[in-house]
Structure 1
Amino acid sequence: MEIIIKLSQFLLSLSLLIILHELGHFIPAKLFKTRVEKFYLFFDVKFSLFKKKIGDTVYGIGWLPLGGYVKIAGMIDESMDTDQMKQEPQPWEFRSKPAWQRLIIMLGGVTVNFVLAFVIYIGMAYVYGDSYLKNDDLKDGISVTNPVLQKAGLQTGDKIVSVDGHIIERFNDLPEALLVGVGKDVVLERNGVQQTITLPADLIGQVVDENSKSLVSLRIPFVIAGFAEGSANEGKLQPKDVVLSVNGEPLRYYDQVEVAMSKYKGQTVPMEVLRDEKKTVVDVTVDKDGKLGVFNGLVGMQDMERMGYYTLSHDKYSFLESIPVGLEKGKDKVVGYWKQLKLMVSPETGAYKGVGGFKAIFDIFPQFWSWELFWSITAILSIMLGVMNLLPIPALDGGHVMFLLYEMISGRKPSDKFMENAQMVGFFILIGLLLFANGNDIYKAILGK
């Protein structure tokens, strides 16, 4: 059932983004009386799942869910319909329209992508508000289990002050700040003293190689979830017990308990736990490896807030207040993705190793239905689609815009033959990028990453 929920979210988000992007081309084309011959969700290689002609346009659904398209008369696009281009230009064709109209038609898709993302962020601010942890409230610092960050000099208990000169105000923003801060300085506070470390330029590449699932996380309490087979502490400890101290030493976090256990290998020591809201002392047996033979349970944010570990901040907005909040968040996401894209094209960062295809996008969606997560993921995917389509690669909207700007500035229109060749080059570039991204997915799957 989980896979169906995941797949449903993936296809719904993808379909929504494709249809709205193509409408961004379709609507201005119609406004400028340009004939649109086809409007398709997904690609109809050889055959369509559905198609119906209304007026001059065939509307359909293809079987290959790798995107969608509108076929505009008199335009050299992925259809490579060169026969049409050999005929005399007709007034309803794209090539017969003034350059400024063609520019608006080509920019329509990415414009819709960015507008959609900003609208989603505004709507989310209004409906859900903001829930976050203030970085200043993490009095005991963060948990660092990522070997790459540990090698770089970060430790559990560090309080991150700034990354690349930018003050970290919310813990939620820290992982992204570390990723885009490769090769930059991180100011941290350790044992009351500020110090600076420099992140390695190939941080992202190292993280991908290590198959590290997270960069940093919150320090959590040690909560008993279950027992390993043959555990000497089954019956002494109980599920949901929260470890408070060992041998009289107060221990607030899971990482502290792990360190403490290593000091009592092969011994029996008193452990204070919180059980049913009451403090209880039990004698536990520590094995020769410094383990208790128990599994630590995941603790939800609400439980940790109730137990006094963290305090979530909640901001609610009126509709008018949500507009600047949503616009600011959208702007930050666009800027952040541009920075990530720059890292991906810089070989020294190793960020290209993390590039993924459709499986990577599919994996982003959760196995449970959450409208809040769905809209959040759809918004960032819309930004990614908009940014990628703006790249000056022939066959992408950005490539067409590049040639149109050249025409408007120079007054000379590239020949149809040149555009055909450019489109073919762009097509092979896109195929190469598609193979690389999805090849990365396959490679990671083979290695179990």
Structure 2
Amino acid sequence: MGLFTQIVMFVLIISILVILHELGHFLPAKYFKTKVEKFYLFFDVKFSLIKKKIGETEYGIGWLPLGGYVKIAGMIDESMDTEQMAKDPEPWEFRSKPAWQRLIIMLGGVTVNFLLAWLIYSALLFNNGDTYIPADSLKYGIQVDSVGEKLGLRTGDQILAVDGKRTKKFNEATLGIILGDEVTVKRDGQEMTIPLSDEGKAEVFATQGRNFMTYRTKARLLEIVENSAASKAGLQAGDEIVGINGEPVQYVQEFMQVVGSSPNKELTISYKRDGRVQQTSLVVPEEGKIGVYLDFDDLRVTEEYGFFEAIPAGFSRSIQVLTDQVKQFKVIFNTSTGAYKQVKGPIGIVEMMPESWNWTFFWNFMAMFSVWLAFLNVLPIPALDGGHVMFLLYEMISGRKPSEKVLETGQIIGFVILMGLMAVVFGNDIWNIIKKFL
């Protein structure tokens, strides 16, 4: 059931984004009286699953779930309809329209994607507020593993800034460290700036960034599992663990490490309840878990937003996501980091979906992916919207249209580039699955 939910969530998100993106091309095309021959969700190579012609446009769903398209008459696109282009231009064709109208049509998709993200982020901020862990005021600093140490970080550091920019949120600081060049920390009362090496980042990407850096918090119990070792020992929600076997324990990570490494061993646990320190004993089960949920949320803060505050804040969030994605490209194309090996395709993205339905995740992921589609499509690669925009800008600046031969060649080159990138992405997905069984 979990996998089914993941697939449904992913397909629904992609379908909504594709339809809205193509609608961004469709509406201005119709407004400028340009004929739209097809409007498709997914690609209908050889055949379609569903199709219906309404007016001059055929609407349908293809069988190949790799996006979607609108086929605009008189335009060299992925259909490579050279037969139509060999005829004399008609007034309702794309190629007959002024360059500024064609530019608006081509920018419509990415514009809708960005506006959608802005709308979603604004609505989420207005409805839910913004809950986060503050990065620059963590009470107990950060906790790093051996991978984090290779980046130059140390347990107890206070993160102050990444690339000279103050880091407000812990999750943004974590992403910033992965994508940035240097981090400023407070260590033992001293501020210092640490360069982030490509070798250290390679270690982070090799482990997919799992727990190379977390925040430290007191070992406070949030919930006790019924009939568990902890329950039988008398531990209660709200207890704060302060020691094990006479040794002091301050933080969640220390507590988890000791318990996890003590299967079948008896532990004497000291805990604080109602201001008094008490003790109890228990035997850790074989699986190294005693049946407690720990409170990781005691450092969280929530900022509330009114309607008119949420709108500019949603715009800023969209710009921040876009900026982070541009930085990701920089890291991915730096082969020494190995980040390209972790690029995820549809299979990898499905695995990121929660196994039970989560509307907050759904809308957050849709907004993030909408910005990603806008950024990807605006790249100046022929076969993408950005490629068409590139040729249109050349025409508007030079006053000369590129020849149809140039446009056709560019389309073919762009298609080959995209197919190559897709092969790499799908290859990564398949290889990551294979590695799980090796």
TM-score normalised over the length of structure 1: 0.87
Distance 2:404 2:287 in 1: 74
1:191 partnered with 2:179: no
Judged with a 3 Å threshold, the aligned counterparts in structure 2 of structure 1 residues 51 and 270 are, in CA distance, closer, same or farther, namely closer
Corresponding residue number in structure 2 for 1:379: 367
Instruction: Among all aligned residue pairs of Structure 1 and Structure 2, give the percentage whose two residues are the same amino acid.
Output: 47
In the TM superposition, what are the counterparts of 1:124-143 in structure 2 within 5 Å? 124-143=124-143
Distance 1:72 1:259 in 2: 61
CA contact (8 A) 2:137 2:158 kept: no
Instruction: Give the counterpart letter for 1:326 in structure 2.
Output: G
Instruction: Give the counterpart letter for 1:117 in structure 2.
Output: A
Distance 1:121 1:410 in 2: 39
Judged with a 3 Å threshold, the aligned counterparts in structure 2 of structure 1 residues 126 and 260 are, in CA distance, closer, same or farther, namely closer
In the TM superposition, what are the counterparts of 1:30-429 in structure 2 within 5 Å? 30-145=30-145, 147-181=146-180, 184-220=181-217, 221=219, 243-257=241-255, 270-273=268-271, 279-283=277-281, 293-295=288-290, 297-301=292-296, 304-305=297-298, 310=299, 312-429=300-417
Distance 2:5 2:266 in 1: 48
CA RMSD of aligned residues (A): 3.2
Give the Å deviation of 1:128: 1.1
Distance 1:269 1:37 in 2: 73
Instruction: Give the counterpart letter for 1:327 in structure 2.
Output: F
Instruction: Give the counterpart letter for 1:210 in structure 2.
Output: T
Per-residue CA deviation, residues 82-116 of structure 1 (Å, 9 max, x unaligned), is: 11111111111111111111111111111111111
Distance 2:413 2:85 in 1: 18
Give the Å deviation of 1:14: 0.4
Corresponding residue number in structure 2 for 1:436: 424
Per-residue CA deviation, residues 56-85 of structure 1 (Å, 9 max, x unaligned), is: 100001111110000000111001111111
Distance 1:107 1:267 in 2: 64
Secondary structure of the corresponding residue to residue 135 of structure 1: coil
Secondary structure of the corresponding residue to residue 243 of structure 1: strand
343-352 or 88-97: bigger deviation: 343-352
CA contact (8 A) 1:205 1:354 kept: no
Give the Å deviation of 1:281: 1.2
Per-residue CA deviation, residues 205-246 of structure 1 (Å, 9 max, x unaligned), is: 3222234423322335275978xx9x9x99657686753223
Distance 1:150 1:115 in 2: 40
Judged with a 3 Å threshold, the aligned counterparts in structure 2 of structure 1 residues 140 and 35 are, in CA distance, closer, same or farther, namely same
Judged with a 3 Å threshold, the aligned counterparts in structure 2 of structure 1 residues 292 and 236 are, in CA distance, closer, same or farther, namely farther
Secondary structure of the corresponding residue to residue 143 of structure 1: strand
Judged with a 3 Å threshold, the aligned counterparts in structure 2 of structure 1 residues 204 and 389 are, in CA distance, closer, same or farther, namely farther
Judged with a 3 Å threshold, the aligned counterparts in structure 2 of structure 1 residues 280 and 2 are, in CA distance, closer, same or farther, namely same
Per-residue CA deviation, residues 131-177 of structure 1 (Å, 9 max, x unaligned), is: 122234421112213x3212222222221112211122222322111
CA contact (8 A) 2:206 2:338 kept: no
Distance 1:294 1:382 in 2: 40
CA contact (8 A) 1:365 1:377 kept: no
Secondary structure of the corresponding residue to residue 366 of structure 2: helix
Distance 1:352 1:7 in 2: 24
CA contact (8 A) 2:136 2:159 kept: no
Judged with a 3 Å threshold, the aligned counterparts in structure 2 of structure 1 residues 386 and 151 are, in CA distance, closer, same or farther, namely same
364-373 or 345-354: bigger deviation: 345-354
Judged with a 3 Å threshold, the aligned counterparts in structure 2 of structure 1 residues 81 and 134 are, in CA distance, closer, same or farther, namely same
Q: Which runs of 5+ in 2 are unaligned?
A: none
Distance 2:287 2:71 in 1: 65
In the TM superposition, what are the counterparts of 1:10-49 in structure 2 within 5 Å? 10-49=10-49
87-96 or 362-371: bigger deviation: 362-371
